[in-house]
């Protein structure tokens, strides 16, 4: 197998054993990037080749002992990595070099990984389609005329094309799950509070977005998850965690799986998506899982109303300092900013009450099921030159992000959700489904994903690039 398509777990093992050097891995990684990145534009703001080789050589001399020792990684361009540009895909921040690492980046470096650059994002991370006026669009490696999803689109493409073995991402509204599904890899939204973000501004109220890992296997997802997990003393909602790696696959026999499908008709899907997920559920049932169709556990329109209120409130809080630079903001950022600034305290309170009611109902659901499953996306990757999906079948979308409503039930509650690949549609494009668990059940969900991976290994079907 080509070196850069090998698992992160195996690469670290071989580097520790001395049968592979960090320098050799870095050379292979940079060669792979040279071969394919120009076709997909996934990794941006790269460090110089000789500097990276020198860093890898120094790591070899120092001894490779950390859990990520010697692994090249590119950091999502919403997070800071010292010495690299953090553009957030916006002209407002283009060219600004980070003076220090964010918490997550620092933990990744402390675990021994070598930062080589950044992965591309939508402007400000808004919208599940990776394009921006600073670095351009990232293309789907299975069809470069299509979107790769987002906002962790660059990360997902780098994994699918063998440019990276592990990648970090973030997820407010499916940003780890949608691009994982569209690029035939795994993306894990951890329980909210497991992975700390920066202790900047408000650290109490907003509980929507989280950082998380991506990889070509759940075992490698667990490897990176452990490196970035654990409480930070500056933040009030940190979660005590236990290691998830090395990850053992769960036995599917007897596991109770609930299928939410189209949520009683409330969710529209393009043709073929539900059928593909159904076939995956049949495979789980053949392996001994007990798969049951579920009636809608909560009114989806109430979940959506709560979501768009709390999301706009949160996004506007982050964008408020840029309110005087509207000409520099894309339409979706202005939409979120205006909605958020117009909200009253009682509107936010009512949205939070709905979230609380949904959390209570979901907790009861997980008393009966080990996991619930939904597709990871409602549409197939669309043309790369479209800003967002404007309609699903005959239904026109009323916001720039309504076409991703399927990810909101888990996001609103901060539940662990693993997007697993489930195969390809009629046009050869990938799709995935979400395995969702009770808050705190991260290890259990990853173990279910590992069982699925052993049965299928969909990421082994690679894009024809390079």
User: How do residues 254-270 score in pLDDT, each as one tens digit?
Assistant: 999 999 999 999 999 99
Return the pLDDT at 231: 96
Return the pLDDT at 120: 98
Percent of the chain with pLDDT over 70: 100
Write down the catalytic residue from 151, 217, 312, 376.
151
User: How do residues 89-127 score in pLDDT, each as one tens digit?
Assistant: 999 999 999 999 999 999 999 999 999 999 999 999 999
Query: Minimum mean pLDDT among 230-244, 246-260, 394-408: which range?
Result: 230-244
User: How do residues 129-138 score in pLDDT, each as one tens digit?
Assistant: 999 999 999 9
CB 175 within 8 A of CB 155: no
At 203, is the pLDDT very low, low, confident or very high (cuts 50, 70, 90)?
very high
Percent of the chain with pLDDT over 90: 98
Active-site residue, 330 included: no
**pLDDT tops 80 at residue 445:** yes
Question: What average pLDDT does range 45-58 have in this prediction?
Answer: 98
Active-site residue, 175 included: yes
**pLDDT tops 90 at residue 239:** no
The topology (CATH level 3) of 3-460 is: Amidase signature (AS) enzymes (3.90.1300)
What's this model's pTM, rounded to 2 decimal places? 0.98
Write down the catalytic residue from 7, 87, 147, 175.
175
Write down the catalytic residue from 45, 76, 217, 376.
76
Question: What average pLDDT does range 158-175 have in this prediction?
Answer: 98
**pLDDT tops 80 at residue 144:** yes
Question: What average pLDDT does range 303-323 have in this prediction?
Answer: 97
Angle (CA) 346-296-190 rounded to 5° is 70
pLDDT averaged over every residue in the chain = 97
HSE (side-chain half, CA atoms, 13 Å) at 125: 24
State whether the Cα torsion 221-150-4-73 is positive or negative: negative
User: How do residues 393-443 score in pLDDT, each as one tens digit?
Assistant: 999 999 999 999 999 999 999 999 999 999 999 999 999 999 999 999 999
**pLDDT tops 90 at residue 26:** yes
Return the pLDDT at 1: 72
At 275, is the pLDDT very low, low, confident or very high (cuts 50, 70, 90)?
very high
Return the pLDDT at 262: 98
At 74, is the pLDDT very low, low, confident or very high (cuts 50, 70, 90)?
very high
At 219, is the pLDDT very low, low, confident or very high (cuts 50, 70, 90)?
very high
Active-site residue, 170 included: no
Return the pLDDT at 465: 85
Domain boundaries defined on the chain:
3-460
């Amino acid at each position: 197998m080509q070196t850069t398509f090998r698992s992160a777990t195996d690469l670290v093992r071989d580097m520790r054993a001395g049968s592979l050097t960090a320098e050799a891995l870095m050379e292979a990684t940079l060669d792979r990037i040279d071969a394919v990145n120009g076709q997909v534009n996934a990794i941006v703001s790269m460090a110089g080749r000789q500097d990276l080789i020198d860093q890898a050589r120094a790591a070899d001399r120092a001894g490779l002992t950390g859990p990520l020792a010697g692994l090249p990684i590119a950091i999502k361009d919403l997070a800071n990595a010292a010495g690299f540009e953090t553009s957030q895909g916006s002209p407002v921040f283009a060219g600004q070099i980070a003076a220090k690492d964010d918490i997550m980046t620092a933990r990744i470096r402390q675990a021994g990984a070598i930062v080589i650059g950044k992965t591309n994002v939508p402007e400000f991370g808004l919208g599940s389609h990776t394009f921006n006026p600073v670095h351009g669009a990232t293309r789907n490696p299975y069809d470069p005329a299509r979107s790769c999803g987002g906002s962790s689109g660059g990360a997902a493409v780098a994994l699918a094309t063998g440019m990276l073995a592990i990648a970090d991402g973030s997820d407010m509204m499916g940003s780890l799950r949608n691009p994982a599904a569209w690029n035939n890899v795994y993306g894990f939204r951890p329980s909210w509070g497991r992975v700390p973000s920066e202790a900047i501004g408000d650290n109490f109220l907003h509980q929507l977005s989280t950082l998380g890992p991506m990889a070509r296997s759940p075992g490698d997802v667990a490897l990176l998850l452990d490196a970035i997990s654990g409480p930070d003393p500056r933040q009030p909602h940190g979660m005590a965690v236990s290691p998830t790696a090395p990850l053992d696959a769960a036995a599917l026999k007897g596991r109770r799986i609930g299928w939410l499908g189209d949520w009683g008709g409330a969710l529209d899907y393009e043709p073929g998506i539900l059928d593909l997920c159904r076939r995956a559920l049949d495979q789980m049932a053949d392996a001994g899982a007990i798969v049951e169709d579920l009636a809608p556990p909560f009114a989806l329109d109430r979940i959506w109303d709560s979501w768009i209120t709390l999301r706009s409130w949160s996004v506007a809080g982050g964008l408020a300092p840029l309110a005087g630079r509207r000409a520099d903001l894309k339409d979706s950022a202005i939409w979120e900013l205006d909605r958020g600034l117009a909200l009253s305290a009682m509107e936010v309170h009512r949205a939070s009450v709905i979230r609380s009611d949904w959390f209570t109902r979901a907790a009861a659901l997980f008393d009966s099921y080990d996991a619930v499953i939904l597709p990871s996306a409602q549409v197939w990757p669309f043309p790369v030159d479209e800003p967002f999906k404007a309609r699903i079948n005959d239904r026109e979308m009323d916001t720039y992000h309504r076409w991703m409503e399927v990810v909101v039930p888990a996001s609103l509650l901060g539940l662990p959700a693993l997007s697993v690949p489930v195969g390809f549609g009629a046009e050869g494009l990938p799709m995935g489904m979400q395995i969702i668990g009770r808050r705190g059940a991260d290890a259990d969900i990853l173990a279910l994903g590992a069982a699925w991976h052993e049965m299928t290994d969909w990421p082994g079907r690679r894009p024809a690039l390079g």
